[in-house]
Amino acid sequence: MLKFNSNNIVVGEIKEILKSFNLPSYKVLVRNKPVSIFKGFNYIFNDMILVSLVNKDFESFEFNESDFSFRSTYYYNQEILNITHNLAIKNINYDYITHNRLGNYLRFIRDYRGLNLMSMYNCFNGQSANNVDIKFETSYVDEEGKKTITHIFNTSDNSYKLLTIPVKYNCDYTFFIDCPTELEITACFYLNNNQLNDLVVGSSSKVLENSLYANTYMKVRGSRFNTPFVYSKLKNLLTKIDSVNDETKDPFKIKKSFAQKELELTLLLKLPKDNNSSIVVLESDYSDDNEQRYYPNGLVFSSHTQYITNYEQSSLSFKKYNSYKQLTYLNDNNSYPFANRLLEYLADNVITSIDDIELNTKRVESNLIKKGVISTYTSSYSWNNNLRAKIFLNAQEKGVLNTKFDVLGYVDKDVEEKVVGFEDTTNEWEV
């Protein structure tokens, strides 16, 4: 796997992809996902750029036309002045700036186009924090009454180390790390190697201490790489924030300020100074990942559990396409930015639900029909859950899931070899 700060042709390819892509700064709204929207903020939904007319929290977003005003049509990879941004290539290394941009690019592909590749991306960006000085209190009640604990995250203290993990609101994060002693986590706003503490919200100076640091603090008393834990403090964080210290008593004022700084939202991971474990942080809940991650017997994985059942009767989620993950397979005391399989997707060498060449899907389906994996073509040769599930199940039956990493139900090189086949039975050319 590629390491942080590497410089080779792969790094150059990734940088060119991110340089050429116009990544919007507007948040993408996704049906059935938790989100907070704010009056006057711009959002992307389907092929529209919308302006919110309301302040509203959603546990599960559903589009209501009365909540928005239509601003303009949005086209994929559209360039919009001051709204879309491209990676500025300033060096030849795979640095944290490139890695952070890649994460935001993958999140956009997931939210706007429905292709979730985040299981192959390590949210940890390989960086130690700088210029951080955070002090806050949390309280708890025991049989002796209420007690208050002071927590300190300070980069000038050499007795521990602080690492940075760029994150997003309303997401779970699964940590894979070996740490036999305590580790601590809190969120902050962090940009260009500096802690941001100048929220202009017309409120007291304790806003970050009370609403961000304390609400996102977590202590873990020992962790094993093979037994990941889930960090959920960012779930519904915005809905918990009030403005009790704000003279305007506007419950959405501080929320808006927090929402505007989502790009700078960062977890600080506080570890013992001598901890050299591999660190993998995956966006979403992969706490059952240890059920699929076994050490190999020779060159073959141990048998893989059947993870998809009744796929035609149920709505499939990404977790039901779990396979062995290269990122989380082994702790070798190195941290890697992404799995090798992700390179296939970035280079458009995988046939997926967002493939622009319709004939590719037809060729896949023609071969699967010939092999008896499916019985008919999908409507307009379009991907659906049933097609993906059939491919995944057949990959499972062929033993692909027991020998290969990061098989997601799309036609990567291993699925093409073992499940679909290389033969073109359509005898057609796309014009």
Helix, strand or coil for residue 179? Answer: strand
Task: Quickly tell me which residue has 């033969």 as its tokens.
Answer: 423
The predicted-structure confidence for 98-134, as pLDDT tens digits, reads as follows 999 999 999 999 999 999 999 999 999 999 999 999 9
Contact 353, 383 (CB under 8 A): yes
Buried b (16+ CB within 10 A) or exposed e, 178-197: bbeeebbbbbbbbeeeebee
State the alpha helices, DSSP H only, in 83-169: 96-113
pTM exceeding the 0.85 threshold for the entire prediction: yes
- How big is the chain by its Cα radius of gyration, in Å? 23
pLDDT the model gives residue 379: 86
pLDDT the model gives residue 308: 47
Cα–chain-centroid distance for residue 58? 20
pLDDT the model gives residue 296: 39
pLDDT the model gives residue 141: 78
Cα–chain-centroid distance for residue 180? 27
Cα–Cα distance for residue pair 26/42, rounded to 1 Å = 6
pLDDT the model gives residue 424: 82
DSSP 92: S
pLDDT the model gives residue 150: 94
Domain range list for the chain: 9-94+106-116, 133-278, 318-420
Helix, strand or coil for residue 416? Answer: helix
Residue segments in the chain with a per-residue pLDDT below the cut of 50: 201-204, 244, 292-318, 431
pLDDT the model gives residue 397: 87
Contact 129, 162 (CB under 8 A): yes
pLDDT the model gives residue 401: 86
pLDDT the model gives residue 304: 45
